[in-house]
Amino acid sequence: MKVYEPGKIRNVALLGHAGSGKTTLAETMIFESGTSRKRGAVESENTLSDYHEIEKEKQKSIYSSLLHLDWRGTKINLIDTPGTSDFYGQVSEAFAIADVAMFVLNTEAGVEIGTEAFWKAAERENIPSVIVMNKLDSDKSDFQSAVDSAKERFGRGVVIIQYPYSEGADFHAIIDVLKMTMYEFPESGGKPDKLPIPESQRAQAELLHNELVEAIAENDETLLDLYFENGSLDEYQMTDGLSMSLLNRDIFPVFCACASRNVGTGRIMGFLGNVAPSPLDRAIPLKDGSSHFVDPDGNPSFYVFRSSSEPHVGDLTYFKVTGGTIRPGMDLVNRRTQDGLRIGSLYVSQGNKRTEVSEVNTGDIAVAVKLKDMQASDTVTLKDSSLEFAPIEYPSTTMRVALKLKKEGDEDKLGSALNQIQKEDPSAKVEHSQELQQMILNGLGEEHLNVILFQLKERFNLDVEFIRPRIPYRETITKRVDTHYKHKKQSGGAGQYAEVYISMEPWVEGMPQREDLNVRHVDEIELDWGGKLVYQNCIVGGVIDNRFLPAILKGVMEKMATGPLSGCRARDIRVSVYDGSMHSVDSNEAAFKTAGLMAFRDGFIRASPQLLEPLYEIEVTLPSVYMGDVMSDLSSRRGQILGMDAEGTIQKIKAIVPLQELDQYTTRLKSMTQGSATYSRKFHEYGMVPHEIQKRVIEETQAAEAEKN
């Protein structure tokens, strides 16, 4: 297979809301370029991407696919990404290697929620972006409305390069205001005829041409001078200016297409080849916060963006070459593990079809087989190199479930399967919670979690089900109490004796010391589960030897780890040991540990204990038409609305909601908004649980304990 120079490579992420036509566009581009003799269709389940059985069944992308084509000597690598929020993790990996993002908009709907989310990510990553208006043959197509929504959401940098001569069933021609030409397509699509712009469209085309010239000129002082001097720019000046403006994200050019009919793809590929940035043009962020330009003449290195495993093949490592040329037989080092590795066979991917190659140049994307212990975000270099790229940032999870095996004895097998799944999909988070005594699986939505369940059953042959996850409550107290416990045990030989008096009170940052206690020493203990225990030695006169005070603390900590109220962890308490007694023979550390535990337990129950629950700050992004329903639903979930922002027809709601109310929220939100809304969440703080919920949790805990006994 041909080896391409870095300047002749384009790495393009295909992005857009589900149903916008990304996969169809990729299929058509590959066919139109001549790279493939057959054009697949999603409905026929024969596309180069979407080749997994579950994708064929659902007829949509779940995994991103790596594709490529040759357009007049330029290699265009396409990363076809899912458009559903449940699979945003795949998009994060595409951003890590793409040099240009191509946003596909359905002209029936304009900018949808998924598109906006991807755009914000591209903005954060500073990736040059191109917009393709697709499905212009639809009866509901509204090109101008779609452009207006793009300008409203993405800014004045959205500039029309092409617009349709007509839309709907009569869509057959595209007017290009950069080349000032009309492309008329045959009924079957493909290569168009180049025609003069009709007189009826001349004024509109010239207006848009001038807007394009002005947009290009205002971002380049040299071109601006030429524009003022000559009153216009020629095509070559415009192309050069457009390339720089695109790279700097000053301009977001708009193209037209009907992917299903093979209309408009040739011009898009020509633009990518002639104007879009190559891997040489964009810096890659490093782990230390600096950046690095790929270097064709530098030491060999590559960046891993995905790891997977296939039957009969083994481990697959997907990577982008960031320096030199990678060849089989090279000895390199994984910077994360510091382990050496030898490069074996190398391949380029066309979906699930792979072609072996003898070398991969800087900027290109390829696959290596049987490299051990590789995972996304790994940097592979020569042994003495210090180069290390920044890790991929995956979206925060929005839904959690607990896993329950139906067959005992498969625990190790389940653990291994989940480790493999998390390695291949870092947007899934697995938590072996000792606190909750459950295995918690966190994902980006119900569909994401169901795909993982499908893998566990079909790929790993595990009989497993989802159950409701427990809530990691916390316990604290709300008033001060003094408590006392005497531990006395005699069993023939040496006995056990310990007596402690402690004062317990709620602890808050900055609270003053009590004047009625003689505080000799204070330990402020940051608890692993959040909050603090402040432990004070207030013993006067040596009634308890100093050597026993750590044992009392151990007893207190042990009971805090399984709180007296519900078995959940306790926090934010100040404990002062102020009196007690000991025996010269029978007192020991075990006795004082028991006395400390029992005194703390008894005092806690009398100190008006309060259950705390995790609260999350959420941001819901949704079309304005669903605002009322979503606001009402949040109120029913004990949500506290923090604010609302309107950005055109897109609304954003910020609220604080208890975790207990969020476990199925993703599913409910999609149901209320016909799948058009998304939300993100992050931990906020622990807050007091309402009395009726606290009572129920305690009753459930007591019932569970009784059942065990």
Which residues are 131's β-sheet partners?
103, 254
469, 489, 515 - which closes a domain: 469
What is the identity of the amino acid at 248? N
Domain that holds residue 600: 475-607
Cβ partners under 8 Å of residue 200, min gap 6: none
Task: Read off the CATH number of the domain in which 440 is found.
Answer: 3.30.70.870
- Same domain assignment for residues 627 and 591: no
Q: Identify whether residues 577 and 619 lie together within a single domain.
A: no
Q: Are residues 67 and 148 in the same domain?
A: yes
Q: What share of the chain is helix, strand, coil (3-state, %, to 5)?
A: 30, 30, 35
Do residues 673 and 653 touch, judged by C-beta distance below 8 A? no
In this prediction, residue 103 carries a pLDDT of 98
Q: What is the pLDDT of residue 319?
A: 98
Quick check: 658 pLDDT over 70? yes
Position 235 confidence tier, pLDDT thresholds 50, 70, 90: low
Q: Is residue 230 part of a domain?
A: no
Q: Which two tokens stand for residue 414?
A: 């389940």
- 529-557: pLDDT as tens digits: 999 999 999 998 889 999 999 999 999 99
- The residue among 347, 381, 415 that closes a domain is 381
709 inside domain? no
Tell me: pLDDT of 690 over 90.
Answer: yes
Question: How many C-beta atoms lie closer than 10 Å to residue 509's C-beta?
Answer: 6
Q: What is the pLDDT of residue 686?
A: 96
Domain edge (last residue) among 469, 492, 519:
469
**Residues 86, 446: contact at Cβ < 8 Å?**
yes
Mean pLDDT taken over the chain: 92
**Shared-domain flag, residues 165 and 253:** yes
Question: Is residue 80 domain-resident?
Answer: yes
Is residue 147 located within the same domain as residue 256?
yes
32's tokens? 């139109």
> In this predicted model, what pLDDT tens digit does every residue of 258-311 receive, in sequence order?
999 999 999 999 999 999 999 999 999 999 999 999 999 999 999 999 999 888
Q: Is residue 234 part of a domain?
A: no
CATH code: domain of residue 374: 2.40.30.10
Looking at the structure, tell me whether residues 36 and 179 fall in a common domain: yes
Identify whether 232 is part of a domain.
Answer: no
**In 10 A of CB 545, how many CB atoms?**
12
In sequence order, the 6+-apart residues with CB closer than 8 A to the CB of 264 are 132, 162, 174, 183, 185, 255, 256, 257, 258
CATH of the domain at 182: 3.40.50.300
Q: Are residues 181 and 45 in the same domain?
A: yes
Cβ neighbour number for residue 191 with a 10 Å cutoff: 11
What is the pLDDT averaged over residues 319-323? 97
CA of 56: how far to CAs of 13, 42, 48, 63, in Å? 21, 8, 11, 12
pLDDT recorded at residue 220: 73
Residues 361 and 421 in one domain: no
CA distances from 322 to 12, 70, 475, 509, 612 (A): 16, 21, 51, 49, 49
Q: What are the tens digits of pLDDT across the range 423-437?
A: 999 999 999 988 888
User: How distant, in Å, are the alpha carbons of 80, 128, 150, 250, 476 from that of 246?
Assistant: 21, 6, 16, 6, 56
Residues 436 and 520 occupy one common structural domain: no
3-state secondary structure of 238: helix
Question: Domain total for the chain?
Answer: 5
Whether residue 37 lies inside any domain: the answer is yes
pTM of the complete model beyond 0.85: yes
Judge contact between 139 and 167, C-beta under 8 A: no
Instruction: Indicate whether 544 and 649 sit together in one domain.
Output: no
- Does 174 map to a domain? yes
Tell whether 704 is covered by a domain.
Answer: no
Residue 3, amino acid: V
Q: Tell me: do 561 and 637 sit in the same domain.
A: no
Contact 2, 355 (CB under 8 A): no
Report the DSSP pairing between strands 173-176 and 181-184.
antiparallel
Task: Please state the rounded mean pLDDT for residues 654-660.
Answer: 96
pLDDT at 228 over 80: no
- Considering the domain architecture, whether residues 457 and 360 belong to the same structural domain is answered as no
